[in-house]
Amino acid sequence: MTILQSQNPISELLQKRGENREMGLYSCCSANEYVIRAALRRAKDHDTVVLVEATANQVNQNGGYTGMTPAAFRAFLDRLAEKENFPVDKLLYGGDHLGPLTWTHLPEAEAMENAEELIRSYVLAGFSKIHIDTSMRVADDAPDERLPDAVIARRGAQLCRIAEDAFVQYRAEHPEAPAPVYVIGSEVPIPGGAQENEDSVTVTSPADCEATLAEFQKAFQALDLADAWKRVVAVVVQPGVEFADESVIEYDRGAAKELMTCLSKHPGLVFEGHSTDYQPKECLREMVEDGIAILKVGPALTFTLREGLFALEQIEQELYGINDFPRSYFRAVLEQVMLEDQSQWAKYYHGSIPQKRYARAFSYSDRARYYLTNPRVAKAVDTLLNNLDHVGVPMALLSQYLPVQYARVHAGQLELKAEDILMDRVGDCIDDYLYAVLDAR
């Protein structure tokens, strides 16, 4: 069945890029309310779209670690847009790493059955940017061999077939819905950054990139997905960027130059860059200029959120005793919860007890983000913000701990309200991405 080409906003934006190579799009890969609201505020300030993507382990048909299905996450985003008075037609919904990511312990038949239901649930919830990721091994794949491109492509086409069929059903109820666009690839960095610190990563070779595209095109043709192939807008490659617990590998456009020549052979196609967190804004800008037009960011956003929370708690601590309120003990509560449940950080953080304590608070991997929705941690955040709003944040302390936000409050650009200050701190990270992707600086 053929699906007519629709005016998907992402396709439209990338088509405009053909006229201006400096345009791009950043993707906010987070399920955190404050992060998403910060992204909405910055997009509203710049009159631009905002793309929010949920990862398969965050949001899936079983709830993921957020407890939300794709439909529930879509409703959550819509509520935040309404709260921020953000136009919903400028809010784009994406699914990230959709494939057998969370079922790799199962053999292919079972893992792919779960992945099919995953991708179906995203499309039926109205997500229109679909990253199909079948680059990971499942239980019956050879554990010590590189997964062949042909296998990755076959599984990817299988999931695209499910997505296209689901969209027929979705469009029957939503006639104006844009057809989904797809992102594919075989050299896909793992979600959340590398598990080990590295000095360098190998850039995808042009030959490997071409082989991946050829295998995917063949697999799509085998399943009568010619129309869907026209809506493949990007391929995930490794352009030479990565981050881990305490290291960041910055983009080297010279090392990636040969890879970028592939794009000249495939008009309308761009690269999608994963693990772009913590890159200097100049590197992000170079990536967009070179053809990595979609930049994914996740842990860096919650890392910045955590910085803001730690700074606000320092202000709270200075005010305690001068004013009468119950302290939040945010950092202590977060630490205790992470010690009680080590499932989300133990395999990432190594070394002595003090080294692991440091990593739980300050690691670039930012495994603390998985605990921010814990009821005790969330209550500590609420207490912290309410305390500061109750007594008022003195400008002198704001200058001491959050000097950029102090300058904005002083200039009348930011309200002296705790959650506004916190979200503006997250906005500092988002500003680097907007600098990179917008056609006018």
Instruction: Quote the pLDDT of residue 440.
Output: 43
CB atoms within 10 A of CB 2: 10
Q: How far is CA 355 from CA 181, 350, 366, in A?
A: 43, 7, 14
- C-alpha distances out from residue 91 to 27, 127, 272, 350, Å: 11, 11, 19, 39
Find how far residue 438's CA is from the centre of its chain: 18
Give the pLDDT score at 3.
47
Q: Read off the pLDDT of each residue in 122-128 and give the average, rounded to a whole number.
A: 98
% of the chain exceeding 90 in pLDDT = 88
Q: Which residues pair with 96 in a beta bridge?
A: 55
Residue 81: CB partners within 8 Å, gap ≥ 6?
A: 40, 87, 88, 91
Q: Which residue has the higher pLDDT, 2 or 329?
A: 329
Query: CA nearest 342: which of 366, 362, 365, 371?
Result: 371
Q: CB–CB of 53/27 below 8 Å? A: yes
Supply the DSSP symbol for 224.
T
Window from 1-5, 256-260, 379-383 with minimum mean pLDDT: 1-5
In this prediction, residue 330 carries a pLDDT of: 98
Percentage of the chain beyond pLDDT 70 is: 94
Q: What is the CA radius of gyration of the chain?
A: 22
Q: Which CATH architecture has domain 302-424?
A: Orthogonal Bundle (1.10)
pLDDT band at 120 (very low <50, low <70, confident <90, very high): very high
pLDDT (tens digit per residue) in 338-376: 999 999 999 999 999 999 999 999 999 999 999 999 999
Nearest to 415 by CA among 383, 393, 399: 393
Pairwise CA distance, residues 420 & 426, whole Å: 10
First-to-last CA distance in the chain? 43
Res 5: pLDDT: 46
Locate CATH 3.20.20.70 in the chain: 9-297
Under CATH, which number does the domain 9-297 receive? 3.20.20.70
Instruction: Give the torsion sign (CA, 413, 418, 424, 429).
Output: positive
Instruction: Please say if the pLDDT value at position 171 is more than 70.
Output: yes
CB 387 within 8 Å of CB 417: no
Give the confidence band of 51 by pLDDT, cuts at 50, 70, 90.
very high
Q: Sort residue 422 into left (φ over 0), alpha (ψ -120 to 50) or beta.
A: alpha
Residues of the chain with CATH 1.10.400.20: 302-424
Q: CB-based contacts of 49: which residues, under 8 Å, 6+ apart?
A: 9, 13, 25, 43, 90, 91, 92
Res 1 pLDDT > 50: no
Residue 186 scores a pLDDT above 90:
no
- Which helix (H) or strand (E) element contains residue 373? none
Residue with tokens 């100049």: 282
pLDDT tens digits, one per residue of 251-274? 999 999 999 999 999 998 999 999
Of the candidates 197, 216, 234, 206, the residue with the CA atom closest to the CA atom of residue 96: 234
Q: Which H/E stretch holds residue 50?
A: strand 50-55
pLDDT in tens, 144-170: 889 999 999 999 999 999 999 999 999
Return the structure tokens found at 123: 């499309």
Which whole number is the average pLDDT over 323-343? 96
Structure tokens at 43: 């997009």
3-state secondary structure of 351: coil
Going by pLDDT thresholds of 50, 70 and 90, the confidence category of residue 189 is low
pLDDT band at 12 (very low <50, low <70, confident <90, very high): confident
